[in-house]
Amino acid sequence: MEIDEDKIDDAVLGLLWLTLHEERRAWKGMDWSVLDRLHRKGLIHDPVNRAKSVVLTDEGLRCSEALFQRFFTRPPQ
């Protein structure tokens, strides 16, 4: 089975929206390889630090909200 890392990255970025606090910080309790890829894509700032959260970039914040809505909300009835 081949894993589609882009889909994993999208799901994790969407889930980061769930733990968002202080406007653009999210808890970094996700796999380090995914966080590294999100950093290389310019969606989060460097996750390697002592903080327990990552900081989303402007683009990362927009994408995170859109992916959360796409994957984890129901359409209006």
CATH entry, 5-72, from 1.10.10, 1.10.3470, 1.10.150, 1.20.120: 1.10.10
In the chain, DSSP assigns E strands to 20-21, 25-27, 53-55
DSSP designation for 44: B
Query: How far, in Å, CA of 24 to CA of 8, rounded?
Result: 21
pTM attached to this predicted model: 0.91
The string of pLDDT tens digits covering residues 28-69 is 899 999 999 999 999 999 999 999 999 999 999 999 999 999
Domain extents in the chain:
5-72
CA nearest neighbour of 64 among 28, 26, 8, 14: 14
